[in-house]
Amino acid sequence: MNAVSIRGVSKRFKGGTTALEDIDLEIEPGEFISLIGPSGCGKSTLLRIVGDLIEPSGGDVQVNGKPARQARRDHEYGIVFQDAVLYEWRTVSKNIALPLELAGWDRGRRQARVDEMLELVELVGFGEHHPWQLSGGMQQRVAIARALSFDPAILLMDEPFGALDEMTRERLNAELLRIWEASGSTVVFVTHSIAEAVFLSTRVVVMSPRPGRVSRVIPVDLPQPRSQATREDPRFFELATEVREALHLGSGDAPSLTEGVL
Amino acid sequence: MTTIGRRGRDWAPAVVVLVAFLGLWEGIVRGAHVQRFLLPAPTAIWTAFSSNQGQLWHEGWVTFQEALGGFAIGCAAGMLAAVIVARWDLVGSALMPYAIAANAIPIIAFAPITNAWFNPLTKTAHMVIAAVLCFFPVFVNVVRGLRSVRPSQIELMRSYAVGELTVFRLVRVPIALPFLFTSLRVASVLAMIGAIVSEYYGGALDTLGANIEQDASLFQFEKAWAEIVIACILGIGFYLAVALLERLATRWQPRAEMVGA
């Protein structure tokens, strides 16, 4: 049974835009999949269809062997958005504990899990802070802690580091990989960044717009665990180039002959 | 310096201004022999105040009850209407333009009319206008607050598969609270205005407004001013009480260090 099984999914919005057409994708448990593509290729829409936050116009999505709707009800996945969406009136701890409260966990169990999560995202000691007291990168770590707090099998992430600066982004990429290995979850990660996609993923799914479809799936054979050294590996550049070329092909731009390597 | 010492230093200039102002007032009235119907001296007002204290505080209390009653009814109605309007868009688009317009008109102009509808010698007449005055700002602001929820904040809750009521309780209410309290502070002032001014057009003999009006027309200005001072104290007290409630309820709000506030 695959973690995520997307078959023939399409999505047409009112007004006639075809956001997605005939998407087929099988994701095995434990994989780290990136969805990358230009604006309008439907990657965020696809992510939300997997999370049953948008209904597809056609096709079928199974998550852990269940229809997407049932998977949402059973809390099979956690989701992280580009905007951390932390509730300002709650402390960091209470934000992380939110899904646990909703699931009816008792206070003791909640506190124990929150402490675990704070350790996982390296924010020990910040439990009683309020979101506005944290930097953007820290807020995203809280959002990740919240998404993983109830131990979902799947993590959906929509450009979670998009609003952060490059250095924080690279650091959080490394942390995310560490968390991924520690939790053993399956990750579906939407991004605009080629470097990020290659660094993080086991496979990169390149999408093209108008209408949104999968143009190529590129397996990333870089060794695990990955580190800063990986970013300087020649194979890393090769894969990034492959992804870039697939992107240009997909959106119909010819790659420029004078373009730099990265 | 201790917090109290620092606070004292922040307030000191304001206190000096008050003392200087009162001193100047007293000096000008005595020195220029200002007529009592123009401006009584602070000492004269104080005499009128201290010799009628029991009566004055009683009048204040009666008027305050009207203001408080009107405040409670008007704000509660405003909150309820706001929840309904925010939930059902069609009702909202039908009613919001009128509410916003009503918020801009001087509703106090209706005071003589509400006094004709209800017996002005009872508290009801004055509570009604106070309630109407409070209703509109609360209604408009709470609707704004409920509508200011970002889609992503709701999307997150949907990913947890919870019901609408839970989303309302856990997300919409906390977001709307600051908006609500801003309007409650405004409403506290309006409620006092409504009560007192409607009493000018007819109120029982033990109300503040009726007495201010009567004392002024009988040339007992020192007493009228003393009653106005009571009104000010009650008005400020009411506002501060609401502000305190706001502080307690929204302790999570980031606050810039405020000087002297």
Q: Measure the CA dihedral B209/B65/B44/B46, to 10°.
A: -170
ipTM for the predicted complex: 0.85
pLDDT at A118: 94
Mean pLDDT of all residues in A189-199: 95
| Contact criterion met (CB < 8 Å) for A81 and B159 | no
pLDDT at A213: 92
Q: Which residues pair with A206 in a beta bridge?
A: A36, A216
Q: How far is B126 from chain A (nearest CA, A)?
A: 38
The 3-state secondary structure of A150-186 reads CCCCEEEEECCCCCCCHHHHHHHHHHHHHHHHHHCCE
Chain A's closest residue to B157, CA to CA, is A99
pTM of the complete model: 0.82
- The enclosing domain of B160 has a CATH number of 1.10.3720.10
pLDDT at B257: 42
pLDDT (tens digit per residue) in A204-236: 999 998 889 999 999 999 998 899 899 999 999
Phi, psi of A205 (to 5 degrees): -100, 110
pLDDT (tens digit per residue) in B73-117: 999 999 999 999 988 888 888 888 998 898 888 988 888 888 889
pLDDT at A148: 92
Domain boundaries, chain A: 86-151
**Does residue B39 form part of some domain?**
no
Q: Is the pLDDT of residue B259 over 50?
A: no
pLDDT (tens digit per residue) in B194-246: 999 999 988 888 899 999 999 989 988 899 999 999 999 999 999 999 999 99
| Contact criterion met (CB < 8 Å) for B155 and A89 | no
A to B CB pairs, distance under 8 Å: 45
pLDDT at A197: 96
| Contact criterion met (CB < 8 Å) for A89 and B252 | yes
pLDDT at B114: 87
Q: Residue A87 burial (CB < 10 Å; 0-12/13-18/19+)?
A: buried
Mean pLDDT of chain A: 91
Chain center to CA of A171: 16
| Contact criterion met (CB < 8 Å) for A89 and B161 | no
Domain that holds residue B64: 53-249
Q: How far is A83 from chain B (nearest CA, A)?
A: 8
Instruction: Please tell me the distance from the alpha carbon of residue B106 to that of residue B120, in angstroms, as a whole number.
Output: 20
Q: How far is A73 from chain B (nearest CA, A)?
A: 5
pLDDT (tens digit per residue) in B45-83: 999 999 988 999 999 999 999 999 999 999 999 999 999
Q: How far is A53 from chain B (nearest CA, A)?
A: 7
Chain B's closest residue to A70, CA to CA, is B161
Mean pLDDT of all residues in B16-39: 87
What's the domain count of chain B?
Answer: 1
**Does residue B168 form part of some domain?**
yes
| Residue in B152, B166, B177 closest to A83 by CB | B152
pLDDT (tens digit per residue) in B175-188: 999 999 999 999 99
Mean pLDDT of all residues in B145-159: 91
